[in-house]
Amino acid sequence: MLDKQTQIVQKKYDRFSRFYDLLEGSMEKYKFSRWRKDLLSNLKGKILEVGVGTGKNLSYYDKNAEVIGIDLSPKMLKKAKIRLTKLNNPNITLMQMDAQKLEFKDNSFDYVVCTFVLCSVPDPVKVLREMKQVCKKKGKILMLEHMLSNYKIIAFFEHIHNPITKTLFRFNVNRKTIENINKAGLKIDKVKNLGFFDVFRRIEIINTE
């Protein structure tokens, strides 16, 4: 049984699923698609993608990688399944699951991936702890995320903007993702600013435990 906040997020994304690809169209074309390709195309082995959404990452995985994508929203997943059918990749499986309560054994995956998800989950620290748990020792946790900027003026506008994105789309633009990663007991190995100064970042973590 999902808690109230998680149910609200699920409903929002179910509703949002029809427009999601359309709304992110130009950012996807000019920025995100390149970031996704760079992050994912060389990964081998067992991969878990948390918050797979409409499946925008699916085409970038190596055909031999064994990928499981999970998402909370059945309707986002439905879109991802349509994409997967077109891709015709039998090594990708999609499942409905709450990232705050992953139903996999500990130390199961070589890579755990999440892209633009920690902004929308009700409890990002819980999700990060779960990701750490299911990632193999010396496995990697890879992320593309937008977060609260270290530049005061940008952070100011993110705080002002947040009630709008939270109400309309159920995602936050002012999450302290680096702090949350530390709270979850993870140590960042590499971080790269990708766009809008330090708002969009690529983060790599080697699971040491």
Ligand X SMILES: C[S@@+](CC[C@H](N)C(=O)[O-])C[C@H]1O[C@@H](n2cnc3c(N)ncnc32)[C@H](O)[C@@H]1O
For binding to ligand X (CB under 6 A), which residues are involved? 6, 9, 13, 51-53, 56, 70-73, 76, 98-100, 115-117, 120-121, 171
Provide the minimum distance between the beta carbon of 94 and ligand X in the complex, in angstroms, as a whole number: 11
Decide whether 37 or 187 has the Cβ nearer to ligand X.
37
Question: Both tokens of residue 86?
Answer: 């077109």
Decide whether 101 or 137 has the Cβ nearer to ligand X.
101
Provide the minimum distance between the beta carbon of 171 and ligand X in the complex, in angstroms, as a whole number: 6
Decide whether 126 or 136 has the Cβ nearer to ligand X.
126
Provide the minimum distance between the beta carbon of 28 and ligand X in the complex, in angstroms, as a whole number: 8
Helices (H) and strands (E) in the chain, counts: 8, 7
What sign does the dihedral 67-72-76-79 (CA atoms) show? positive
Provide the minimum distance between the beta carbon of 160 and ligand X in the complex, in angstroms, as a whole number: 20
- φ/ψ of 112, rounded to 5, equals -120, 125
What is the number of the residue whose Cβ is closest to ligand X?
Answer: 53
**CB of 47 within 8 A of CB of 65?**
yes
Decide whether 60 or 157 has the Cβ nearer to ligand X.
60
**Cα-based angle 147, 27, 13 (whole degrees, multiple of 5):** 65
Decide whether 23 or 160 has the Cβ nearer to ligand X.
23
Provide the minimum distance between the beta carbon of 198 and ligand X in the complex, in angstroms, as a whole number: 19
**Long-range Cβ pairs for the range 86-93 (8 Å, 24+):** 87/58, 87/59, 89/58, 89/61, 89/63, 91/61, 91/63, 91/64, 91/65, 91/66, 91/67, 92/58, 92/61, 92/67, 92/68, 93/67, 93/68, 93/69
